Amino acid sequence: MKQWLKDAVFYEIYPQSFCDTNGDGIGDLPGITSKLDYIKGLGCNALWINPCFDSPFKDAGYDVRDYKKVAPRYGTNEDLAQLFRTAHEKGMHVLLDLVPGHTSEEHPWFKASSQVEKNEYSGRYIWTDHCFAGGDGMPFIGGETDRNGTYILNFFKCQPALNYGYGKIHESWQQPTDAPDCRATVEAIKDVMRFWLAMGCDGFRVDMAFSLVKNDTHHKKYTCAIWRDIAAMLQEEYPQAALISEWNAPRLALKNGFDMDFMLSGTHNGYDWLMRAYDGTMDSNPHNIGKAYFCKDSGTGIDKFLDDWLPSYKATHKDGLYCLITCNHDTIRPAAGLTTDELRIAYAMLFTMPGAPFLYYGDEIGMRYQKLPTKEGGYFRTGSRTPMQWAPGKNLGFSDAAPESLYLPVDPSADAPTVAQQQEDPNSLWHTVQSILAFRHAHRDLDSDAPFKVLFAPKAKGDYRPFAWRRGKLICAVNPAGAQAELPLKLKEGTRTLFVIGSAEVRGEDLILGDQSFAVLG
């Protein structure tokens, strides 16, 4: 385990929307650098920055046109180098977003690949051998290029799939993963990684890490082999560099080179039951929530989360970190479904569980989901990508630009939460986040890889649905419901409350947790 990950708490930044320093209405890298003290003061000591590379922005930068160039709208490569240096001076680490599965259709590799004449890049993407060949079950585009063939897509239409080869091969145009073209793709991605690592980057969040090899087995045998190969390169050349996968399959990711994997939101999975529990699809009315564990009146027990999370944790905790998030740029903000008091205890649990927690910018003040038209391929996700709300006043402190020229509008409501207001108010959500993170950093028992054990997780009985867990010598407990709960924890004499949200009292061997309360005992 890489030493710095033990105490790492990540802050995810959507660069478009964090801080605009040159008044053009869009966030930039100098803006991020200028806010490092703020982030550190909150208790986050590491960053994940969404793609900040040159791109036509049809998928907000997940359509990379030049892997080695910062998008001019965010600044220059030197600005990014400066961000790395300043972060390191402050003891912070920075992950970039690596998009290995596809590029933009405007990437020079793809342009070369589309040509009729054979060249170095002809096999960099997955092409069939005829303009009518279809895609063997995969989404494909035909009729757009002079080259006589169709090409496979990895996500949106603008994102042709890079060629890492096929597991099971049943068409003549499908290559095995050890074909020279496929190996060249792996080497090209390693080259991109080395480029940023040499400049000071501390690792990568890997987009769609599962997506490299097509027709791969259920166990993703060939994709996993590529990640082991890449991890071996890192181990040799940059042993402290970290990799986190967008995969939500810790049994695969953490055993095949990744240091961390995300537990992502999916319909009715454990994370969904904990924080969201939307009815229907992800873009259904976000205010229709109410079934999440942390909703005061949901009646949902912690078993809905544990049934999913615990077996994965047990199977992988020796290999790496299975990480919990407050939200990300692809999901509806938690404030859409949870009140401030619900958010407090939700975050308290997320930040005291194993794994390195990820806080999405603005969730520390309960920024709200906005109903907005789509921007740069965001669709329903656009509403979670609005500008950071720093202070009351023009554009809520995000930018000096005219409001109509902002990348996205700021929250227009009169009571839109801001950092400045919440820092003034000792009862704010910001202070809850800050104090729980300070407590975490002060206790090695709350390190990302420190031991964890379920202590008390009864099935829900009406409003009785508390949860208690052990971290090293500490005991953490939460009661999300609207009624007080007694937890028969067989506490040792002398056990005291060390951190409390709401109310908590040790009575003999029991813990009495007030309604909507959280406590750490030791």
Among 208, 335, 365, 367, binds ligand NOJ (CB under 6 A): 208
Q: Which is nearer to ligand NOJ, 328 or 418 (CB)?
A: 328
Tell me the residue nearest to Ca ion as measured from the CB. Answer: 28
**Cα angle vertex 84, ends 82, 90, to 5°?**
105
Q: Is 207 in the site for ligand NOJ (CB under 6 A)?
A: yes
Tell me the residue nearest to ligand NOJ as measured from the CB. Answer: 62
What is the DSSP pairing of strand 203-206 with strand 242-245?
parallel
3-state secondary structure of 517: strand
Residue 345 near residue 284 (C-beta atoms within 8 A): no
Q: CB of residue 457 vs ligand NOJ: minimum separation in angstroms?
A: 31
Binds 330: which of ligand NOJ, Ca ion, none (CB < 5-8 Å by kind): ligand NOJ
Q: What residues have CB less than 8 Å from 363, skipping those under 6 apart?
A: 326, 327, 333, 334, 335, 343, 347
Binds 465: which of Ca ion, ligand NOJ, none (CB < 5-8 Å by kind): none
Binds 208: which of ligand NOJ, Ca ion, none (CB < 5-8 Å by kind): ligand NOJ
Residue 102 near residue 162 (C-beta atoms within 8 A): yes
d(CA 334, CA 239): 35
Binds 24: which of Ca ion, ligand NOJ, none (CB < 5-8 Å by kind): Ca ion
Among 14, 18, 48, 62, binds ligand NOJ (CB under 6 A): 62
Q: Which is nearer to Ca ion, 15 or 257 (CB)?
A: 15
Residue 41 near residue 409 (C-beta atoms within 8 A): no
Residue corresponding to tokens 């960053």: 47
Q: CB of residue 22 vs Ca ion: minimum separation in angstroms?
A: 5
Q: CB of residue 113 vs ligand NOJ: minimum separation in angstroms?
A: 19
What is the DSSP pairing of strand 10-13 with strand 504-507?
unpaired
Q: Which is nearer to ligand NOJ, 55 or 428 (CB)?
A: 55
Q: Which is nearer to ligand NOJ, 261 or 341 (CB)?
A: 261
State both tokens at 289: 């929530």
Q: Is 59 in the site for ligand NOJ (CB under 6 A)?
A: yes
Binds 62: which of ligand NOJ, Ca ion, none (CB < 5-8 Å by kind): ligand NOJ
Q: Which is nearer to ligand NOJ, 62 or 313 (CB)?
A: 62
Binds 155: which of Ca ion, ligand NOJ, none (CB < 5-8 Å by kind): ligand NOJ
Residues that bind Ca ion (CB under 5 A): 20, 22, 24, 26, 28
> DSSP letters along 218-269, please?
TT-HHHHHHHHHHHHHHHHH-TT-EEEES-S-HHHHTTTT-SEEE----TTS
- The residues with which 274 forms a beta bridge, in sequence order, are none
Q: Taking CB under 6 A as the criterion, which residues in 131-190 touch ligand NOJ?
A: 155
Residue 344 near residue 429 (C-beta atoms within 8 A): yes
Q: CB of residue 377 vs ligand NOJ: minimum separation in angstroms?
A: 7
Total binding residues toward ligand NOJ, as defined by CB under 6 A = 9
What is the DSSP pairing of strand 53-54 with strand 151-152?
unpaired
Residue 298 near residue 290 (C-beta atoms within 8 A): yes
* Contact set with ligand NOJ (CB under 6 A): 59, 62, 99, 155, 207-208, 246, 329-330
